[in-house]
Amino acid sequence: MLTFRRAFHCGVTALAVTFAPMLAAPGWAATGTVHVEIVKAGFIVGVGGGSGTLVFQGRRYPLSVGGLSVGATIGASKADLVGRAYNLRRPSDIAGTYTAVGGGVAVGGGASGIRLQNARGVVLELRGRNVGLELNANVSGVEIGLR
């Protein structure tokens, strides 16, 4: 099991390194901080939802989060993620559909990280903790809105 987990993490890391240059944030962009809580469940098709907060230029903005994943998904988990939002000119830029291709494993609890981008060029780099039992290898879409 340890060897599979190590190989899986190496594969996910290689995938992230491959796609990272395409998601690079230009230097002129403003940055905000993001905290998001998401609950997911699924079998083949996964669904999730949650809430969060964007802190941008000293103000707090509540966020709604919804998501869908299609692929090999089974189980349920809760993620508590924090990170940065790059390329923001105004708070409303964070709203939209974010996409990422990747996979992950959560058994009991574990660390996770993800990099997402929306059509406005806003990049979210989030890290945190997953709790639950979930195995996935899929294409995901996350919808974020200002509340």
- What's the start-to-end Cα distance of the chain, in Å? 42
State the average pLDDT over residues 108-132: 80
DSSP run (H or E) holding 19 = helix 2-19
State the average pLDDT over residues 31-59: 84
CA distance 72 to 14: 19
Q: What is the pLDDT of residues 77-104, one digit of tens each?
A: 787 889 999 999 999 999 999 887 444 4
State the average pLDDT over residues 48-54: 89
CA distance 13 to 19: 10
